[in-house]
Structure 1
Amino acid sequence: MTEIQAAHREIPGGPPFRTPAPPPGRPVELALVPDPRCSARPGRPFSQRTVFTALGWVQLVAGALLFPLPGPGLLLLALGMATLAKHRPWAAERVHSFKRRALVKVAHGVRTLARAVCLFVITLANTLAGLPWVWSPKQPRWWALPSWTWLPGASGPGSATLVSGVVPLALVVYGWRCFHGHPDRVAAL
């Protein structure tokens, strides 16, 4: 076994493929065996995995930067994690646990008609909060702060808020259809 092969065997997550350890007294075979510790999917080209990983990290960083602003920050974070989850087990575990927690919260939110209506109205109000940015009204006289603080970003943040509000609205409707009146499905979560 070469020094490089020995070094790869020691790295957790190592290379996409590893050479199997030879039985005592036999030479190392050159057959490549998928390494179960590696996050790469067998059969996927290295360049494709690299592109998806880079794209996922770019989406995560952009989502983290946009998170405090009105717009698609949370959606970009979720999209980045979903992209990374295709090739990275740690991301897949976090996406799975996030999905499960989101479904449990939605199932809890639509347990009764009053809760479902309240959840839908609040989600709709949050979604429609982007309309002032889209309409771009003039700064009112009572606005005491500098003019650049009045609805910064013009219509971009408003349209992004409207678009990113569609996902929670769809999640509430999905929760109503799947979990309202079905305690067995809620218990299965």
Structure 2
Amino acid sequence: MAARLPSWAWVTGLTAGATAAVVALAVQADHGPHPTAAVTRPSASATASPHATLTPREPSAPALPDESGEGRRIVYSLGEKRIWLVDATGKASRTFTVWPGTVSPQPGRYSIIKRTQSIQGSDGVQIEHIMYFTKVSGVNIAFSNALDGSSPPPANGQKLGGIRMHKEDGAALWAFGDQGTRVTVVK
């Protein structure tokens, strides 16, 4: 005759099985697509008018500049203070505004030459997602975002080449561009 399992053994076994199933589903969900929402945040200007991160799907998103190249690339407009992430088909998958430093690159074609996860910026702010693409008069020009998400303070005469962006935009740019990714700078 078979021995009967006590009820605590059944409960323990069912609980362990349910916990394992929940953990497996959580791991699968973490690797799947994540929903995103539009974020409204203050503009970098002195006015208090809010603006949202614009994507090409929104009718108010600025069009990708003419003569910005072809194929997969990062497009940076000096005049619009804006970046577009362009996929291999030539369509902008994301666009957002940035705060340029006091030293700007010349219009032209570059590529990401170095990536650094996080450091202290030359302005003393902890930054992350640093992607260097050129040097002007000894000043490194790179995309980055502040760890705390803040905009850069006034430069006080410093020569700064950091092109800062909001934290979530920095993460998107970091995921999009690797060493060698093309960068097109336009007026």
- TM, length-normalised to structure 2: 0.24
Higher RCO, 1 or 2 (CA under 8 Å, sep at least 6)?
2
Q: Tell which structure's C-alpha radius of gyration is larger.
A: 1
- TM, length-normalised to structure 1: 0.24
| Greater strand fraction, Structure 1 or Structure 2 | 2
